Structure 1
Amino acid sequence: MRIAELVGRRVAIWGFGREGRAAIHAVRQRCPDQRFTLFCAAAEVDAARAFDPALEVVAGEPDAATLSRFDVVVKSPGISAYKPALLAALAQGTQFTSGTALWFGENPDAHVIAVTGTKGKSTTSALIAHLTRALGVRTALAGNIGLPLLELPDRQAVSQPAELWVIELSSFQTGEAGPLELGVITSLYEEHLDWHGSRERYVVDKLRLADVSRQLLVNGLQPALLERTQKHPHRLLFGQPAGWHVADGFIRRGTQEVFPVEQLAAPGLHNALNACAALAALAAVGMDAMAAAPALAHFRPLPHRLQPLGERDGWHWVNDSISTTPLATLAALESLHGHAVTVLVGGHDRGLDWTPFVEAMRSSPAHAIVCMGSNGGRIETALRAAGVACPIMHVADLAGAVAEAKVCTPDGGVILLSPGAPSFDQFKDYAERGRRFAALAGFDSASITGIEGLGIDGDVGKT
């Protein structure tokens, strides 16, 4: 759908987060005199009216009858596409679209690499943009990574539009993308079951990216992902010995040593694999990945993703607040193998299975585990029932977890925040949780800024 198709129709915007505001701004530019309705939280009403005085602002979540009064509803990604009210309105003829879908409708000829995955999608997206810019390609980096697509300037309105668009898509957005040159899937685990309703639906939604991708690049180390994508006519793999992979301390292309893993600023085998995905993506779209590879040395890790904060009071502090699944926590611990690590786990409980984490801790435990948040008790119970042989503590919140970690971590050890769960039981989002962790550790939380490189050639935030 294009924005022009909204002209003269009954249109509502659902959600007043950053995506919602970007959608309001974009449709208002094209339809300056049209009446729009906004559904938002009661606490957002005043801000919404100030943002666009011409909006009809309605507080609260709309029901099916309310939604059915509109021809089109522009929905923010955090609103589940499986809400009963939405499905009922859809059956009555209401169309639902999004900022992502509108952007693809407006830019059908854009040269796009889209990246999704349960974990690794943000780092891989940022790496692709970093490497293509190193080759002199004018690149836009946007999407779920922190910059809604509709916030980017219209291609017709700028003198130097992007030559390449690197777009991160969440599982909420993969079904909204239009045809694109290359789709990249970094990983596929259990995630966001509260939005999708079941693991199978999550997998199906995630893999919708394959349906719109002329070429599809997937992680060759994941059997389930390989099985589910085997019928794609132009599937490429990374992580396997014949192509871009990690072996014997190097990122390799086949048997050729390309880049030493120890020179990556982003630690861990999974980040080396993300670099393989980025290099493979460049090669897939005809760029010189070998020439770009040295630029890996200058890539700065993204905030809240295994972010080393530094040493304080004799301990090394690592902020991995973005970790929202137990498997992501295991990857973080693997990256710190050989160190005495106290890991802080727990947060908002959305019913994910912690059995793989518990089994891993039974065979190779961390130095200590501090459980916190709304699912902290459930995690603690599972760890104790399995006989995990390390100190296990249960506290109410992050402040208590940091205090306990200081008591039980030896000098020179690592205190790692890698919760394996969302932050919503205590914080607005993972970034707020990460900044609070930094402050509790004694660091300047204001120094943890947003992701570098967003926009066209990293123009977001430039002065």
Structure 2
Amino acid sequence: MGSQEVTSWTDMNITVAGLGVSGVSAARALAGLGASVTVVDGGDSPAHHEKAALLTEAGISVQLGDSTTLPEGTDLVVTSPGWKPSSPLFVEAAAAGVDVVGDVEIAWRLRGPDAAPWLAITGTNGKTTTTQMLASILEAAGLRTAAVGNIGTPIIDVVLQGDDAYDVFAVELSSYQLHWAPSLRAHSAAVLNLAPDHLDWHGSMEAYAADKGRIYAGNQVACVYNVADKATENLVREADVEEGCRAIGFTLGTPGPSELGVVDGILVDRAFVDDRQKNAQELAEISDVNPPAPHNIANALAAAALARAFGVEPAAVRDGLRNFTPDAHRIAHVADVDEVAYIDDSKATNTHAAQASLASYESIVWIAGGLAKGATFDELVAGAAKRLRGAVLIGADRGLIREALERHAPEVPVVDLDRTDTGAMSAAVQEAARLARPGDTVLMAPACASMDMFTNYNKRGEAFAEAVRELGATSV
């Protein structure tokens, strides 16, 4: 069957891997279309059994405690994004000649002939913010849209609302989702940046980049890339696109023809204008971007490029950016205490995200650490060394960051908190306050995952904000 679209699901035997949000969505949707669905999941907890009971009521079979055996007679496997290609279930499926696809692929196949186009976004960092910015711009243009994919409502559920429910989708796609979506053909797409991440899943940087690059396959109007990140442009060069599809760059500098960029504090378009050799169209001011950190301005330019590729007018770009409010824990200003700003960027779970965050401030006391996920920190620390007033380290792999600081910023005072308990965050904020001077920024941009100490990065950010509030109460 390969990447050919399915026209009838009736009487197909489909195995869904995983009882997560996307797995449950896929199972219910496919069963509703007449398929015989079996969900497999290695979990066996009360929560798993509770979900299984609800699916069983809907006529869906569920097998708990074993996610390695392919049910007999399976015609197609639908995986949740996080399952590795090397999973035994998928190895067995390959041996049996059974395709494995993801929920995004199923959503794409379920679209009707008059379905809303997809404007798709991927990258190592900034995907969610850029997708939400794009949706805000599209809404400001009066278009019926939704931010879907790796965020929000499961994409299958949105697609099943019908072809006439939306005008266009802003679609965030992870490398996992792209790996399992061979049929996807977007109207236009952007790769924001590329840096090592999830290499344990993909196996190599080359494989990771190749999966990201799948987003450009079959693009109709625009392949949007980051001028400052040559790897993204290379993916465009390698892409097989529709005739007439254009490469559109975005840059924090002055844009060339077929680029969007910044001139004297103004976001400008030299791609979607008449006579782009000579003309530029004002879109918005830097002050319209919230927050106006360099990497977030880049996000705004990428969102604007996709919107302009879809024909959105300049005023809607400006209004959409003004209306946009970023999610919590993304360079969020928590409070000023004793003339020191406290910034929560708990979402900076890898070195690439932390690098962007550190580049946004001049004098920083950096709170960092957690689970490194195989990352190294030399390049990050070397690039930020001149901006660091001090560093406070927490978490399981803090030693890796401490060693990088010793090599590349030996003059920077470092507090190594030998703790991985949740109360360590309060101690970290107190130590950071001791190191900070008026005018400094205490930046919690961990460059690591959170699961050694917290359930997720949201809980880590909440702990930081609470510790800052406690600090403010004691300083009054």
Same fold by TM-score greater than 0.5? yes
1:88, distance to aligned residue in structure 2 (A)? 4.0
Partner of 1:241: 256
Q: Which amino acid aligns with 1:359?
A: A
1:49 to 21, 33, 52: 52
Partner of 2:211: 205
Q: Which amino acid aligns with 2:25?
A: A
The 3-state SS of whatever aligns with 1:155 is coil
1:62 to 63, 67, 80: 67
Whole-angstrom distance in 1 between the partners of 2:71 and 2:432: 49
Which segment drifts farther, 22-31 or 195-204?
A: 22-31
Whole-angstrom distance in 2 between the partners of 1:281 and 1:438: 34
Q: Does 1:221 align with 2:199?
A: no
* 2:15–2:76 CA contact under 8 A, matched in 1: yes
* 2:359–2:384 CA contact under 8 A, matched in 1: no
Q: 1:41 to 1:331 in 2, by over 3 A?
A: same
Partner of 1:252: 268
Q: Which amino acid aligns with 1:236?
A: I
The 3-state SS of whatever aligns with 2:388 is coil
* 1:110–1:164 CA contact under 8 A, matched in 2: yes
Partner of 1:351: 374
1:428, distance to aligned residue in structure 2 (A)? 2.9
The 3-state SS of whatever aligns with 2:188 is strand
Q: Does 1:30 align with 2:48?
A: no
Whole-angstrom distance in 2 between the partners of 1:356 and 1:322: 20
Partner deviation per Cα, 1:43-98 (whole Å, 9 max, x = no partner): 242222233234443334522x4467633222100112233552343122232122
Partner of 2:473: none
Q: Does 1:137 align with 2:149?
A: no
* 2:283–2:317 CA contact under 8 A, matched in 1: no
2:152 to 146, 169, 175: 146
Q: Does 1:7 align with 2:10?
A: yes
Whole-angstrom distance in 1 between the partners of 2:235 and 2:376: 22
Q: Which amino acid aligns with 2:178?
A: T
Q: Does 1:107 align with 2:111?
A: yes
Q: Which amino acid aligns with 1:241?
A: G
Q: Normalising by structure 2, report the TM-score.
A: 0.84
Partner deviation per Cα, 1:399-453 (whole Å, 9 max, x = no partner): 243343233223453222211122222233222322232223228xxxxxxxxxx
Structure 2 portions without partners, runs of 5+? 271-279, 471-476
Whole-angstrom distance in 1 between the partners of 2:383 and 2:413: 15
Q: Does 1:380 align with 2:381?
A: no
Whole-angstrom distance in 1 between the partners of 2:294 and 2:309: 22
Whole-angstrom distance in 1 between the partners of 2:316 and 2:16: 45
* 1:40–1:57 CA contact under 8 A, matched in 2: no
Q: 1:401 to 1:6 in 2, by over 3 A?
A: farther
Q: 1:313 to 1:107 in 2, by over 3 A?
A: farther
Q: Map of 1:273-288 to 2, 5 A cutoff?
A: 273-288=298-313
2:296 to 271, 286, 299: 271
* 1:246–1:273 CA contact under 8 A, matched in 2: no
* 1:68–1:94 CA contact under 8 A, matched in 2: no
Q: Does 1:336 align with 2:336?
A: no
Q: Which amino acid aligns with 2:191?
A: I
Q: Does 1:418 align with 2:445?
A: yes
Partner of 1:441: 468
Partner of 1:19: 22
Partner deviation per Cα, 1:203-257 (whole Å, 9 max, x = no partner): 1111111123223111122122223322445322222333310243221234555
Whole-angstrom distance in 1 between the partners of 2:24 and 2:294: 38
The 3-state SS of whatever aligns with 1:42 is coil
Whole-angstrom distance in 1 between the partners of 2:8 and 2:458: 36
The 3-state SS of whatever aligns with 2:292 is coil
Q: Which amino acid aligns with 2:329?
A: H
Whole-angstrom distance in 2 between the partners of 1:155 and 1:3: 18
Q: 1:260 to 1:38 in 2, by over 3 A?
A: same
Q: Does 1:125 align with 2:131?
A: yes
Whole-angstrom distance in 2 between the partners of 1:24 and 1:327: 35
Identity %: 26
Partner of 2:330: 305
1:376, distance to aligned residue in structure 2 (A)? 0.9
Partner of 2:393: 371
Q: 1:390 to 1:21 in 2, by over 3 A?
A: same
Q: 1:269 to 1:241 in 2, by over 3 A?
A: farther
Q: Does 1:173 align with 2:196?
A: no
Whole-angstrom distance in 2 between the partners of 1:317 and 1:392: 18
Whole-angstrom distance in 2 between the partners of 1:434 and 1:8: 47
Whole-angstrom distance in 1 between the partners of 2:212 and 2:120: 12
Q: 1:35 to 1:272 in 2, by over 3 A?
A: closer
Q: Which amino acid aligns with 2:467?
A: L
Q: Map of 1:398-417 to 2, 5 A cutoff?
A: 398-399=424-425, 400-417=427-444
Q: Which amino acid aligns with 1:216?
A: C
Structure with the bigger RCO (C-alpha within 8 Å, sep 6+) is 1
* 1:304–1:321 CA contact under 8 A, matched in 2: yes
1:171, distance to aligned residue in structure 2 (A)? 0.7
* 1:12–1:38 CA contact under 8 A, matched in 2: yes
Partner of 2:275: none
Whole-angstrom distance in 2 between the partners of 1:358 and 1:169: 29
Whole-angstrom distance in 1 between the partners of 2:453 and 2:33: 39
1:182, distance to aligned residue in structure 2 (A)? 0.6
Q: 1:17 to 1:170 in 2, by over 3 A?
A: same
Q: 1:59 to 1:263 in 2, by over 3 A?
A: same
1:114, distance to aligned residue in structure 2 (A)? 0.7
The 3-state SS of whatever aligns with 1:328 is helix
Q: Normalising by structure 1, report the TM-score.
A: 0.86
Q: Does 1:296 align with 2:339?
A: no
1:4, distance to aligned residue in structure 2 (A)? 6.7
